Amino acid sequence: MSTKLQNKDAATNPRGIPVAPFVDKVEDYVSSRAEVDGTMKSFQEMISKYQFMEVNTQRRAAGLKEKVPDIQKTLDMVQFLHSRKPGSEPIETTFELNDTLYAKAIIPPTDEVYLWLGANVMLAYPINEAETLLQSKLSTAQQSLENCEEDLDFLREQITTLEVATARLYNWEVTMKRKEKAENGEDGGPSDQKRILPNG
């Protein structure tokens, strides 16, 4: 049974997340009722792993959704400063110190800007290099966000596939149990329904 699951899981998405096994025929995964519990457990473990990846991907996407506008805003400002010609009049503006505090500043034409790189690190860059760096960071962040959104769709699809597989396996076991009881001359009554399907 485990070999069959591994073979089905050989394919992955572009980020290496494995494709969940699609159960068309239950007999492809189990040959008897004795294998049902182990297969059910394998499916539930896979669902848990996909759900764990989904939560982590959601967190990463949320961070990127905040990061992308910040990079874009910084890039817009650098491009504006870059567009100002030498000898232009200084401009008066306000800049954000934190979420609720702003200060005034006089900004003359400049060919150098300072960029926060994180971890309390700030570096001076020639304005051309700063613009190139920010464009690269923006492109990378946008692509990462797109990848996260694709991965979330993919993960939800795999979870649904495994939930369907679990239901099919459960129904197959109930059918086989009734068949065995009928062959043995026993009454297949409501007791067949007492097995609780994982996750509801």
Q: What are the tens digits of pLDDT across the range 40-74?
A: 899 999 999 999 999 999 999 999 999 999 999 99
Separation CA 94–CA 112 (nearest Å): 19
The H or E element spanning position 53 is helix 36-83
Q: Can you tell me whether residue 95 is helix, strand or coil?
A: strand
- Residue 196: pLDDT over 80: no
Q: Give the angle subtended at the CA of 127 by the CAs of 125 and 132, to the nearest 5°.
A: 90
Helix axes 36-83 and 127-183, enclosed angle (nearest 10): 160
pLDDT band for position 118 (cuts 50, 70, 90): confident
- Residue 93: pLDDT over 60: yes
- Residue 121: pLDDT over 50: yes
Higher pLDDT, 135 or 22: 135
The H or E element spanning position 157 is helix 127-183
Separation CA 150–CA 57 (nearest Å): 10
Q: What digits encode the pLDDT tens for the residues 139-191?
A: 999 999 999 999 999 999 999 999 999 999 998 888 888 888 887 775 545 54
Q: What digits encode the pLDDT tens for the residues 2-49?
A: 445 545 446 999 999 999 988 888 888 888 888 888 988 999 999 999
What's residue 3's pLDDT?
46
**pTM score, whole prediction:** 0.76
Mean pLDDT of 77-83: 92
Separation CA 173–CA 194 (nearest Å): 12
